[in-house]
Amino acid sequence: MPPAPGCYGAASAFVLPPLPAMPQAPSDVSQVLLPFGGLVGREVDLDAFLQTLMDRIAITLQADRGTLWLLDPARRELFSRAAHLPEVSQIRVKLGQGVAGTVAEEGHAINVPDPRGEQRFFADIDRMTGYRTTSLLAVPLRDGDGALYGVLQVLNRRGADRFTDEDTQRLTAIASQVSTALQSTSLYQELQRAKDQPQVPVGYFFNRIIGESPQLQAIYRLVRKAAPTDATVLLRGESGSGKELFARAVHVNGPRRDQPFIKVDCAALPETLIENELFGHERGAFTGADHRVPGKFEAASGGTVFIDEIGELPLPVQGKLLRVIQDREFERVGGTQAVKVDVRIVAATHRDLARMVAEGRFREDLYYRIKVVEVVLPPLRERGAEDLERLARHFVAAVARRHRLTAPRLSAAALERLKRYRWPGNVRELENCIESAVVLCEGEILEEHLPLPNLDRPAPTSGASASEASPPADPTLLPLAEVERRHILRVLDAMNGNRTAAARVLEIGRNTLARKLKEFGLGDEP
């Protein structure tokens, strides 16, 4: 059965609850956008806005699915920016390819009653998604100057075998409203920039990154410059501050975007395994090595290797990595033959590498090689109240969608509590905190359920208990139990949730791991 409107992207295949305000298709197109006026202006969460917008459009046109396509002038392609597309995260089509591509090239609406036998229909997308298109309507999206910048498309008219002429008129009217609405968003500004710099592809950029503070703006500028090159990038920042998110942004905004992005987490692997993981091994390299196994560098060929927690890399392996950066070659463990490799390297650390160099724990030559472009991510507490609020609202909406719940409203008191907390675990901690609160929230307003220390309580005057009101200046000074909890979750994450593998890395029994996870409130495996 095809998914209902409300399903977006592979990473977030969820179904929104029915929209209470509009159970029926409205007859007046102005109702499609009317409820969003405030949301567009504030644009607290562009993704959520676009998704709700596409839901409304599908309902209004009595369509099963809808797609907002935008134009990437550099690549002469359309990319799906918001869509009922649970099967894949994004689709790209060339101008002139398929119905949407033809609308973008020719600039007029196309109504396809039956795609079978329709030459302009691009059946590859149905083949890729497994979805069966039975009728399709697509109209151009134009900006205030009349220039085409996208296509609005709906699929599979419900209750009829085709879209009508009246539907075409309605979708055209909606497209004009959508254009007006989009022009006040940063998405539109990005498209405008792309017009001035047609060599820079769009649609990959920062789609999932929330934050408008001056610090984040400076980082966007830096990443925008560095990404299209092959420069090695070093991301520095506290745990949970978004290093991996930006590492992916560097990759998908660069020339290697269609090639693999492979992550190696040096902190999750025992020292003895890191070399093997990165470089692979030859047959007979050690007992049990009964065939040649390629490492991550070979797996990432043509793409990017993201070396997370590079500060944990043992010194001998640092030497081998240096050779990869300098000479683009290495030897597999137990091998004598040089293997050539073409990869981009992006590295991340929460450590002070300069200090590690001074202490002789990190090679100076490698340090300078990896920090060709250095991006320092600010801790959440330094990003200002507005960014915190944007992120919080984004997570409320995203978590509610993920768990198929109605998104509660954040009360002023709840926001105040969020702003007063110091967030030692940064954005990840905020995300987890909001997830817990949204899941436990019983009413429409999220207020009581934030699992945060009560900062209004008077601080203890003496004793060894940590003061919640005045946390230590150094956020890494954590209680032992918290360090253990974070380490376990990080290993589990690195092993993609596989408990057996995580228990092996942690060198504890699987039952012990299960018990600890239970203590953290992470119940049984699904």
Ligand X SMILES: Nc1ncnc2c1ncn2[C@@H]1O[C@H](COP(=O)(O)OP(=O)(O)OP(=O)(O)O)[C@@H](O)[C@H]1O
Residue numbers at the binding site for ligand X (CB under 6 A): 209-211, 237, 239-245, 308, 348, 350, 391, 427-428, 431
HSE-up of 213 (CA within 13 Å, CB side)? 19
Strand partners, 233: 346, 373
CB of 438 to ligand X, least distance (A): 15
> Which residue is at the shortest CB distance from ligand X?
242
CB 261 within 8 A of CB 251: yes
For ligand X, give the closer residue by CB, 178 or 210.
Answer: 210
CB of 67 to ligand X, least distance (A): 24
Longest CA span, the chain: 80
Amino acid at 415: L
Query: What does the H/E/C string look like for 439-500?
Result: HHCCCCEECCCCCCCCCCCCCCCCCCCCCCCCCCCCCCCCCHHHHHHHHHHHHHHHCCCCHH
The tokens 């409130």 sit on which residue? 521
Q: At what angle do helices 499-506 and 480-494 cross, to 10 degrees?
A: 130
For ligand X, give the closer residue by CB, 231 or 245.
Answer: 245
For ligand X, give the closer residue by CB, 84 or 350.
Answer: 350
Question: In Å, how far are 345, 424, 477, 515 from 483, measured between CA atoms?
Answer: 29, 12, 9, 17
CB of 277 to ligand X, least distance (A): 17
CB of 450 to ligand X, least distance (A): 17
CB of 244 to ligand X, least distance (A): 3
For ligand X, give the closer residue by CB, 16 or 210.
Answer: 210
HSE-up of 504 (CA within 13 Å, CB side)? 9
For ligand X, give the closer residue by CB, 131 or 246.
Answer: 246
CB of 430 to ligand X, least distance (A): 8
Q: What phi and psi values does residue 375 have, to the nearest 5 degrees?
A: -115, 120
CB of 113 to ligand X, least distance (A): 42
For ligand X, give the closer residue by CB, 239 or 304.
Answer: 239
**DSSP H helix total and E strand total for the chain:** 20, 17
Residue 425 is encoded by which pair of tokens? 């675990």
For ligand X, give the closer residue by CB, 244 or 331.
Answer: 244
